């Protein structure tokens, strides 16, 4: 009819969606709407609707009956449509859920699922509608208004209908209603479900469809307009043989031509482009699998559809009884099919092959969208705005703490500048990387890991031909020779994860999960191997450090602490402990200070030069759904998510002060503890908060010192008059009786 794209909207008063979810899924698969607006969902805040390829947003009725939930609205939007939720102002008389659709190069379109309860005030409920209309332009409010008026096809006018009609004339919005009734009672048929549209003048079609088992019909509202949405490939099937053959034909790198950092960067860019292009040319979209529907259930659905249409046409009570009978049969058969399917799936679950986790994970992992964020620049609603707000917040974290000792700063700066000036431009005194090392590293990669900003995942790397692996080996060799880490590999994609119990609207409540390019991790693996060999041969790391070290895990540190305390308990000695936690451990490392310490430990110059290049000019970008923020600089710290980062941090805190008659325990990345059995030592350390505090300030990392507990048979240390009876270390709760009851109780 119209030579343009169609924005398909469906709105429906479900009168309780939980018991109708299966037939609702069949309806969605049949009509494939872009947006679904539901009213009277009868959901509590702990209940959600899970529909494939849709994001869902909800509003819940306040003060619901604990046994009989009521009210509530919801909006479901296709994943490929850019959108964001808008939190509406406080509404007194209506219930509403609001989402804005953000088509490219167009003003946002605001969709509102609205429900006006029949008990709402008939004269002033329009105030809430006016508030919703003022949120933004291009408004579409769809739902159940419980309002009758002859203007939209009803047989009579009611006070609520007169109020909406008068308000429409005053505010200048349109009312779009289907030509047939939308709600069918036992002896009535009325049009009370319709759409209010303001500043959105496009051709449309609206129809009431005689389907689903609510007393309200679903309504389809199609707008004909031009718009564009991002193209996402979806599931792809890759011909890995073709992928390998394509890369085999690529040009071999002549190592003699890679003699500068600029040449190395261009070779890395070319390699990444070749791998990505080979993947694209070797992949095809996967056709959607046919969704199986039980033949008996399909037959009953067709019969119900016909009976519903006949009843709505002729209003015969006999047809109504037949329709009710079919609804009960379908509900009973649907429950039986779902129970049998779940039983069969449980019978096929095996605890030994990992299938049990595949079955449990979807129930445990419930993804949550990031809500609107508050920031210094206002409120972020769209995904791109959220990504930029989070990036700006993280950029302030990746900065250096204030250095309180100018002499230390001057000493470190002179040492680092002298090294950078005197270091050779080309290094040759190192063990060259071998293709076998690269192959061993590739074999250990797990294919379920997310790719970095380059889009090259581990499965692609595992299918690389020998020709490309030799190229990667050559690149890593040149990285060590030139002491230059490729610029493309120094940009991380950060995925924000909400910290438990934190405010989701605060940008500081999100933990950054860094995704680095997989190829860079292979290079890091080989660099770390050589660094660890040097550290082990020369006993550089102090023996008190545990974590990220071979045969020295955090569990061993816990055993060490418990044995020390238990020994004191057996000897009737009082044992106290002071625990420190380094805030923003990886994020606030002083890069020049780390290089200075590597020089002090006489680390091979090629490793120092390479680590210096690895740390300098690192960048990151935050990803929220499919949107990526602008690139931000990392001005301090070691790379999170990297292989070499924990070892570099261990070197950075390796010179932490030790105390006489005191057990020092260091757990990388961020905690230390001092345990003492001598009363005088404990009082000294607890009173003066340890001599490590000025050391932390000199080294430019922030140590948050807490005296967590004094253990064993008598309480020695008190904080503000309250004894410490329990404390924690590395996730284990320590108690006075050493029985770990508090730690084991939650399990």
* Alpha-carbon 344 to chain mean position: 32
Backbone angles phi, psi at 604, to 5 degrees: -50, 140
pLDDT at position 744 over 50? no
Report the alpha-carbon distance of residue 618 to residue 629 in Å, rounded.
15
* Region 62-83 average pLDDT: 89
pLDDT at position 390 over 90: yes
Please state, rounded to an integer, the average pLDDT across all residues of the chain: 83
Poorest-pLDDT segment among 242-256, 352-366, 529-543, 600-614: 352-366
Assign 289 a pLDDT band (cuts: 50, 70, 90): low
For the ranges 32-46, 123-137, 291-305, 451-465, the lowest mean pLDDT is seen at 291-305
Task: Tell me the C-alpha to C-alpha distance, in Å, between residue 634 and each of 182, 445, 586, 618.
Answer: 58, 27, 11, 5
Q: Specify the pLDDT at position 413.
A: 86
Residues near 167 by Cβ (< 8 Å), separated by ≥ 6? 126, 129, 130
Q: What is the pLDDT of residues 117-170, one digit of tens each?
A: 999 988 899 999 999 999 888 999 999 999 999 999 898 999 999 999 999 999
pLDDT of residue 724: 42
Residue 235 CB partners (closer than 8 Å, separation 6+): 285, 286
Token pair of 38 as six digits:
């539901």
How many C-beta neighbours within 10 Å does residue 396 have? 12
Closest CA to 230 of 81, 7, 369, 54: 81
Can you tell me the mean pLDDT for 68-92? 91
- 96 contacts 113 by C-beta, under 8 angstroms: yes
The confidence score (pLDDT) of residue 664 equals: 77
238 burial type by CB count under 10 A (0-12 exposed, 13-18 middle, 19+ buried): middle
Distance CA 534, CA 431 (A): 12
pLDDT of 108 reads 92
111 SS3 class = strand
Distances (CA, A) of 434 to 270, 568, 596: 22, 51, 30
In this prediction, residue 9 has a pLDDT band, given cuts at 50, 70 and 90, of very high
Nearest Cα to 108, choosing from 65, 137, 80? 137
Highest-pLDDT range among 250-264, 321-335, 691-705:
321-335
In angstroms, rounded to a whole number, what is the distance separating the alpha carbons of residues 4 and 152? 27
Give the model's pLDDT for residue 732.
Answer: 54
Q: Residue 715 pLDDT > 50, yes or no? A: no
- Give the pLDDT score at 725: 42
What would the two tokens of residue 314 be? 């002729």
- pLDDT confidence bin for 689, thresholds 50/70/90: very low
Output the pTM of the full model: 0.80
Q: Has residue 556 got a pLDDT over 90?
A: no
pLDDT at 300: 87
If residue 484 lies in a helix (H) or strand (E), which one and from where to where?
A: none
Percent of the chain with pLDDT over 70: 86
Between 235 and 180, the higher pLDDT residue:
180
Return the minimum-mean-pLDDT range out of 77-81, 220-224, 407-411.
407-411
Q: Which pLDDT score is estimated for 719?
A: 41
pLDDT, position 1: 38
pLDDT band at 372 (very low <50, low <70, confident <90, very high): confident
Q: What is the mean pLDDT of residues 400-428?
A: 80
Let me know: does 92 contact 72? Beta carbons within 8 Å. Answer: no
pLDDT higher than threshold 70 for residue 742: no
The CATH number of the structural domain formed by 5-230 is: 3.60.10.10
């Amino acid at each position: 009819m119209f030579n343009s794209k169609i924005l398909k909207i469906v709105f429906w008063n479900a009168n309780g969606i939980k018991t109708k979810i299966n037939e609702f899924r069949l309806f969605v698969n049949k009509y494939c709407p872009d947006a679904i607006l539901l009213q009277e969902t009868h959901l509590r805040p702990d209940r959600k609707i899970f529909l494939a390829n849709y994001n869902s947003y909800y509003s819940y009725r306040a003060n619901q009956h604990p046994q009989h939930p009521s009210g509530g609205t919801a909006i479901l939007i296709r994943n490929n449509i850019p959108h964001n939720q808008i939190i509406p102002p406080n509404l007194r008389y209506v219930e509403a859920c609001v989402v804005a659709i953000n088509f490219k190069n167009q003003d946002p379109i605001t969709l509102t699922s609205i429900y006006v309860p029949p008990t709402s005030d008939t004269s002033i409920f329009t105030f809430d509608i006016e508030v919703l209309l003022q949120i933004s332009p291009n408004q579409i409010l769809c739902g159940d208004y419980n309002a009758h008026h002859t203007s939209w096809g009803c047989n009579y006018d009611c006070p609520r209908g007169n109020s909406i009609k008068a308000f429409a004339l005053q505010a200048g919005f349109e009312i779009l209603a289907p030509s047939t009734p939308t709600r069918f009672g036992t002896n009535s048929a009325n049009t009370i479900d319709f759409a209010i549209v303001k500043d959105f003048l496009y051709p449309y079609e609206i129809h009431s469809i005689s389907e689903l088992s609510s007393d309200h019909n679903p309504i389809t509202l199609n707008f004909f307009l031009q718009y564009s949405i991002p193209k996402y490939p979806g599931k792809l099937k890759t011909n890995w043989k073709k992928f390998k053959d394509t890369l085999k034909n690529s040009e071999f790198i002549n190592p003699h031509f890679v003699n500068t950092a600029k040449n190395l960067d261009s070779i890395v860019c070319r390699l990444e482009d070749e791998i990505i292009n080979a993947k694209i040319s070797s992949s095809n979209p996967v056709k959607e699998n046919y969704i199986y529907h039980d033949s008996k259930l399909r037959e009953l659905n067709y019969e119900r559809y016909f009976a519903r249409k006949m009843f709505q046409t002729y209003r015969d009570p006999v047809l109504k009884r037949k329709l009710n009978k079919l609804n009960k049969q379908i509900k009973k058969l649907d429950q039986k099919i779902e129970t049998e399917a779940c039983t069969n799936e449980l019978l096929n679950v095996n605890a030994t092959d990992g299938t049990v986790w595949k079955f449990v994970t979807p129930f445990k992992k419930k993804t949550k969208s990031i809500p609107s964020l508050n920031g210094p620049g206002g409120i972020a609603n769209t995904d791109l705005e959220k990504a930029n707000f989070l990036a700006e917040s993280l950029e302030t974290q990746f900065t250096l703490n204030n250095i309180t000792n100018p002499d230390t700063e001057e000493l470190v700066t002179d040492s680092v500048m002298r090294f950078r000036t005197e270091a050779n431009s080309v290094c040759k005194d190192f063990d060259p990387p071998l293709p076998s090392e690269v192959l061993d590293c590739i074999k250990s990669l797990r294919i379920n890991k997310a790719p970095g900003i380059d889009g090259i995942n581990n499965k692609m790397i595992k299918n690389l031909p020998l020709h490309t692996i030799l190229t990667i080996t050559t690149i890593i060799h040149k990285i060590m020779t030139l002491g230059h880490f490729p610029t493309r590999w120094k940009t991380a994609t950060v995925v924000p994860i909400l910290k438990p119990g934190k405010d989701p609207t605060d940008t500081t409540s999100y933990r950054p999960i860094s995704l680095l390019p997989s190829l860079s991790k292979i290079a890091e693996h080989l660099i770390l191997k050589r660094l660890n060999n040097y550290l082990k041969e020369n006993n550089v790391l102090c023996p008190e450090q545990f974590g990220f070290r071979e045969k020295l895990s955090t569990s061993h540190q816990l055993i060490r602490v418990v044995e020390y305390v238990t020994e004191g308990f057996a000897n009737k000695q009082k044992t106290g402990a002071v625990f420190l936690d380094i805030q923003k451990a990886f994020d606030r490392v002083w890069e020049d200070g780390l290089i200075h310490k590597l020089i002090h430990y006489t680390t091979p110059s090629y490793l120092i030069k390479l680590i210096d290049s690895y740390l300098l000019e690192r960048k990151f970008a935050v990803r929220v759904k499919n949107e990526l923020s602008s690139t931000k600089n990392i001005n301090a710290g070691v790379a999170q998510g990297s292989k070499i980062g924990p070892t570099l941090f261990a070197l950075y805190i390796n010179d932490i002060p030790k105390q006489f008659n005191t057990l020092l325990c260091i757990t990388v990345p961020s905690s230390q503890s001092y345990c003492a059995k001598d009363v005088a030592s404990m009082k000294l350390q607890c009173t003066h908060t340890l001599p490590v505090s000025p050391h932390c300030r000199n080294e430019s990392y922030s140590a948050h010192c807490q005296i967590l507990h004094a253990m064993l048979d008598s309480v020695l240390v008190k904080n503000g008059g309250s004894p410490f009876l329990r404390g924690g270390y590395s996730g284990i709760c320590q108690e006075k009786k050493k029985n770990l009851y508090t730690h084991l109780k939650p399990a």
